[in-house]
Structure 1
Amino acid sequence: MPILITEWMPMGVDHLATFDATTYDPQLWRDRARLLAQLVDCTALIVRNQTRVDATLLASAPRLRVVGRLGVGLDNLDLEALRARGITVVTGGNANAIAVAEYTLAAMLTLARRLPAADHRTKGGGWDRAAFGAGFELHGKMLGLIGLGDIGARVARRALAFGMRVIAHDPLITPHHFAAAELGVTLAPLDHLLGESDFISLHVPLLPTTRHLINADRLARMKPTAVLINTSRGEIVDEAALADALRAGRLGGAALDVRAQEPPEQPDPLAEFEKVLLTPHIAGLTTESQARVCQAVAEDVLRALRGEKPLFAVQ
């Protein structure tokens, strides 16, 4: 099985199979022992975010030449070990950026108008206009973006179209960068952003410096009406501190598409709050985005196997 796919890949499998024998087993990541046993002859491995590509896995894959990541996060890949072996890593580039940006706006609208609760109440026979008629508009509100890369810039563009004001914190972005210069996004220190924003949206990778970036201290710096949105990685938010802030009424709400543990343990302490929107890591999953991601990764895996330069290789 020279090409092994261990997680969900709705498109592109047939294309890979025209090049070499391909095994598609989207639940294989759940069975570590069986996964390691199938890697002996593997030259290409395609994963999402559940398969841990670490030194132990690489030791079981002596012929591995390329790893394809169906997405953009790299925290489940041991990049140092992969580089040491000379194994190419390719991703979907920014193929799901539109989907994540649209989800972020959808989350803001959903929480601003309390749509899930209104839907549930109405379907149960209620007609409580007074209770659900006191939502608020996005227009004029301040959106704080922590991270102004491919996704953050797309969120900014869409938020500006709603008449929002946008500030951002990103140490890698300068005022001359297109996302700031062309869109008119003001760059700000993190503490200033936390204190001024009505919505705070996270668009940063999981690194040692970003783990629990949003902790009890930083939650305390936010407005008590502010809404936190996380579509990046669950570990960026201290979930226990978030639950405490919500329980104490020190935060207006949250939308979490990613969690520190996926799926979270039950009972989930964050599920008790009406003002929290929880979704199962779907922000980047649309029919269109998956077509782009799968095609990009499949093509780059084949380029690497043919000895060509991939378009979206991780440096």
Structure 2
Amino acid sequence: MATCVIAQPIHPVGAEILQTAGIKVIQAPGPGLDALQAVIPAADAVIVRDRLPAKLIDASPRLCVIANHGTGTDKIDVAHASARGIPVVFTPTANVRAVAEHAMMLMLATAHQAALADAATRQGDWNFKYEQPMRSLYGKVLGIVGLGRTGRLLCEMVAGALNMQVIVWSPSLPEGEALPPNARRVSTLKELLQASDVVSLHRPLRADTHHMLDRVTLGAIKRGAIVINTSRGALIDEVALAEALRSGQLFGAGLDVFEQEPLPPGSVLCDVPNVVLSPHVAGSSQEALNATATQCAQQIIDVLAGRRPAHLVEPKVWERRRQPAQTNEQRVNS
């Protein structure tokens, strides 16, 4: 019987689908790497929501597929897995609506000072309503950096609900590809930053996108703008962001992702009042979790059955993949 290890908690439908297909499911005893280390040697498949370094990939000689619970795969050593002939699958469509909704929520919560208003109300501070500035987003300009599935859906949402104009900077978008009706393209990031009342990041983390918002780019942003990040924490230099928030260069920020997760208690962001924080939960609505767990489970079933899965991170690995039926001895001799 094949075994799938679930590294961090997922929606129970994932385990149910795997078990119905005759796959044994082992839940790691905790969400950390030490807990995963204890159970991954038995894995033919693994579902991860966090890091999977090379040493844990090598800890299971039977591992035939890694399922990334979500879209971004920068926390998985994909190159190492590919070199070992282990396909990595992901779920690029499962949580798009949840992430777009969360980005819009952070926009509104930041503009209307929701976190500070909640704290003031609990403390009986009724002067808050007279002292705290708030912003309306209706008719303002939203700058979307990276027009993938989430960015496109966010375009539609803000057009209908807030009548926002949208400008887009997306280097990987083909020149002739159609944009949403309320969006227009700009040629540079600087042009987008200077024109946007809200900037929402939707790019993957790579060497060329690391700290794309740093002191220089944050200094070029329209004064009083709002920055939203539901993509990857390291797209922003957090020290520079905190400085821009304190100085008034930015009105506020809404962040669901961070350079170090969990966010350390001493983070420069913890003492900045005009930032709304959430613990990387943008894609964690119950509906999204159900869909993501389902896609992970189904792709694992497909790989173990010899069927090409729907979403391969590195498609070329499929033709030289590690075979589930191989014994350890056959693998060593191959």
The letter of the residue matching 2:170 is D
Structure 2 match to 1:48: 49
**1:37–1:60: 8 Å Cα contact kept in structure 2?**
no
Structure 2 match to 1:207: 206
Structure 2 match to 1:23: 26
Deviation per CA, 1:90-125, whole angstroms, max 9, x where unpaired?
A: 112211110110111111111111122222223333
User: Does the alignment pair 1:163 with 2:175?
Assistant: no
d(CA) in 2 for partners of 1:283 and 1:78? 23
SS in 2 for 1:38: helix
**2:155–2:182: 8 Å Cα contact kept in structure 1?**
no
**2:106–2:276: 8 Å Cα contact kept in structure 1?**
yes
Shift of 1:201: 0.5
**2:30–2:36: 8 Å Cα contact kept in structure 1?**
no
Q: Give the paired residue count.
A: 308
**1:5–1:26: 8 Å Cα contact kept in structure 2?**
no
Alignment of 1:1-315 (within 5 A): 2-11=3-12, 12-18=14-20, 19-25=22-28, 27-31=30-34, 35-49=36-50, 51-54=51-54, 56-128=55-127, 129-132=129-132, 134-161=133-160, 162-178=162-178, 180=179, 182-188=180-186, 189-314=188-313, 315=315
d(CA) in 1 for partners of 2:119 and 2:26? 43
Structure 1 residues 15 and 264 mapped into 2: Cα distance closer, same or farther (>3 Å)? same
SS in 2 for 1:229: strand
Deviation per CA, 1:268-297, whole angstroms, max 9, x where unpaired?
A: 321222210011111111011001101111
Shift of 1:20: 1.9
Shift of 1:136: 2.2
**1:8–1:26: 8 Å Cα contact kept in structure 2?**
no
d(CA) in 1 for partners of 2:31 and 2:279? 20
SS in 1 for 2:227: strand
**2:165–2:182: 8 Å Cα contact kept in structure 1?**
no
Shift of 1:259: 0.7
Structure 1 residues 28 and 277 mapped into 2: Cα distance closer, same or farther (>3 Å)? closer
SS in 2 for 1:272: coil
Where does the alignment leave 5 or more consecutive residues of structure 1 unmatched?
A: none
SS in 1 for 2:88: strand
Name the stretch that deviates more: 247-256 or 201-210. Answer: 247-256
SS in 2 for 1:4: strand
d(CA) in 2 for partners of 1:305 and 1:183? 43
Give identity over the alignment, percent. 34
| Relative contact order, higher structure (CA 8 A, sep 6+) | 2
Where does the alignment leave 5 or more consecutive residues of structure 2 unmatched?
A: 316-334
The letter of the residue matching 1:17 is Q
d(CA) in 2 for partners of 1:79 and 1:299? 20
**1:300–1:310: 8 Å Cα contact kept in structure 2?**
yes
**2:155–2:166: 8 Å Cα contact kept in structure 1?**
yes
d(CA) in 1 for partners of 2:65 and 2:263? 31
The letter of the residue matching 1:21 is K
Please report the TM-score for the alignment, with normalisation by the length of structure 2.
0.87
Please report the TM-score for the alignment, with normalisation by the length of structure 1.
0.92
d(CA) in 2 for partners of 1:115 and 1:255? 11
d(CA) in 2 for partners of 1:110 and 1:28? 30
Name the stretch that deviates more: 235-244 or 264-273. Answer: 264-273
**For the aligned residues, what is the CA RMSD?**
1.7
Deviation per CA, 1:127-174, whole angstroms, max 9, x where unpaired?
A: 343235x52221121111111001111111111111111011111113
d(CA) in 2 for partners of 1:26 and 1:245? 41
